[in-house]
Amino acid sequence: MSKNLKKEQMLYYLFEYLEKQFQLPGATLFGFLTFRAALAMILSLLISTIYGKRIIRFLLKQQVGETVRDLGLDGQKEKAGTPTMGGIIIILATLIPVLLLAKLENIYVILLIVTTLWMGTIGFIDDYIKKFKNDKDGLKGRFKVLGQVGLGLIVGLTLFFHQDVTMKEKLPIEEQRVLLAQNPDIEASKLFKEEVKSTKTTIPFVKGNEFEYADLITWINPDLEKYAWVIFILITIVIVTGVSNGANLTDGIDGLAAGTSAIIVLTLGIFAWVSGNIIFSEYLNIMYIPRVEEITIYIAAFVGALIGFLWYNTFPAQVFMGDTGSLTIGGIIAVIAIAVRKEWLIPVLCGIFVAENLSVIMQVSWFKYTKKKYGEGRRIFKMSPLHHHYQKSGYHESKIVTRFWIVGILLAILSIVTLKIR
C-alpha cells in the first residue's frame, strides 16, 4: 500500500507522528484496510453497547416511548413505553469510527455519510412528529417519498458524473494469453484496461454477469447512449425507495430488522472488498471497481453498530430503532449495493425486505379488489407485513426472527454463489 493512500485517513497522521518520534510498535497498521475495518467494527460495537445504554436512559427520561396500537398480537401491550428512536445509536456508532478510520476523500464514503445523515434526518423528523407532536401518522408519506427520491437523485447523479467512479475491464482473452505467455508472473493489474466511466453493472444468471444500462435505450437509436444517465438515475431512485421502505416494514418485531440487515450488509462487504481488489477480482473474474474497497470500513462499522444495537433490541427489546433507524438502514443498504454494482442482486440478497414489501402490496391490492367486486374486503394473509402473519398464526416472535435470519443467511450464500454462475 502506498504512502499517500495511508495518509488519507484521519488517525494515520497521529500514529505516523508517534512512530517517528517514539517508534510506537504497530503504528503502521493504520495503513492497512483490513486492520482499519477490524478496528472500525470493534469501535462501533463498543460505542453501541456501552453508550447505547446511556442513550436508552436519555430516551426514557425524555419519555420517547412507543405507543402501541392494539392489533391483537401476543405480547403487544408489554411493549408500550419501550423507548423508540434507538436508530440514533446505530447512526452514531457507525459515523464515529468512519470519521476516525476511513479515507474521507473517497467519494463512496462521502456518499454513505450523506445517505446516513439524509435518511437519519427524515426518520428522526418522522419519529419526532409521532412522539412530541402526538401525531400517530408522523411525517406525511409524500414527504418521505420526496426525501427518498431526493437521495436517489443525489446518489445517481454523483455515481454517474463523478470522475472517481470508474471501472476496469479485463483485456480480451487473446491479449491476456499473449501477456501471460511472455510473463507468467505478470501483475494482475496488467491484465486490465484503463479506468473508464461506465453504466455497466452486475446481473446474476446472465452470461458474463454484466449488463449495460445504455442497452435499454440504444436499441431504439444508438445516439440515445448519451441519455443512459437518465435510466441509471431512475433505477437508483426506485432501488433507494424500495429498499428503505422494505427495511421500514421489516422493523416490526424485536431484532428482525437489525439482524437481517447485518447479514445483508456483511455480504455486501464481501462484494465491496473483492470488487475493489484487483487480484481477487481477476481471480474471481468479476468487475473491478477502483477505490470502492474503502467502503469496507464503513460496512464494518455499520455491521458492528447493528450487532451492538441487537444487544438491546433482541426479545424482549429495551429499545426500538424507530424510523430513525429503519429508513437509514434501508437507504445505506441500497447505496452500498448500487456503489458495488450489485443492485440487481437485491431481489435475492434482500429477499426478506422484498417479501415484506410484497406482502403489504398483495394484501392491500387484494382487499381493495375484493371490496370493489364483492362489497367485502378479503385478505390473503392473516395480517401484513409478513412477520405479523406468522405472529397471528401462533409463532413466538423469537422463533419468527430466528427463522427469518436463517432464510437471510441462505439468501446471502446464494447471492455470493451467483458470482460464479454464468
What average pLDDT does this structure show over 398-408?
A: 95
pLDDT score, position 118: 96
The angle, 0 to 180 degrees and rounded to 10, between the axes of the packed helices 295-313 and 52-61 is 60
CA-nearest of 266, 243, 204, 203 to 405 is 266
pLDDT digits (tens, 9 = 90+) for 295-311: 999 999 999 999 999 99
Tell me the residue length of the chain: 422
What pLDDT shows up at residue 80?
Answer: 66
Predicted pLDDT at 130: 83
pLDDT digits (tens, 9 = 90+) for 220-248: 888 888 888 899 999 999 999 999 999 99
Query: Cα separation of 224 and 358, whole Å?
Result: 34
Sign for the pseudo-dihedral over CA of 252, 254, 258, 263:
negative
Listed in sequence order, the residues at least 6 apart from 373 whose beta carbon sits closer than 8 Å to its beta carbon are none
Handedness of CA 243, 341, 93, 414 (dihedral sign): positive
**Alpha helices (H) along 219-290:** 228-250, 256-275, 278-284
pLDDT of 214 > 80? The answer is yes
Predicted pLDDT of residue 374:
87
Which pLDDT value is given to residue 16? 64
Average pLDDT over residues 407-421: 89
Give residue for cell 455519510.
Answer: 113
pLDDT tens digits, one per residue of 119-149: 999 999 998 888 777 777 788 888 999 999 9
CA 20 to CA 22: how far, in whole Å?
A: 6
**Residue 22 pLDDT grade (very low, low, confident, very high; cuts 50, 70, 90):** low
Are 324 and 87 in contact by the 8 Å Cβ rule? The answer is yes
Q: Give residue 211's region: left, alpha or beta (phi > 0; psi -120 to 50).
A: beta
| Mean pLDDT of the region 365-375 | 90
* H or E element in which residue 212 lies: strand 210-212
Contact in structure between 120 and 87 (CB atoms under 8 Å) = yes
Say whether pLDDT at 6 is over 50.
no
| Helix, strand, or coil (residue 394) | coil
CA distance 360 to 383: 9
Q: Give helix 397-417 / helix 351-374 axis angle, nearest 10°.
A: 120
Residue 318 confidence (pLDDT) above 50: yes
- Res 24: pLDDT: 64
* Range in 126-130, 324-328, 334-338, 355-359 with the lowest mean pLDDT: 126-130
Q: What percentage of the chain exceeds 90 in pLDDT?
A: 50
- Identity of residue 399: K
Mean pLDDT of the chain: 86
Q: For the chain, give percent helix, strand, coil, nearest 5.
A: 70, 5, 25
pTM score:
0.90
Return the percentage of the chain with pLDDT > 70, whole number: 88
Predicted local distance difference test score (pLDDT) of residue 4: 42
In tens, the pLDDT along 80-93 reads 668 888 999 999 99
Query: According to the model, what pLDDT value does residue 10 have?
Result: 64
Tell me what pLDDT residue 177 has: 81
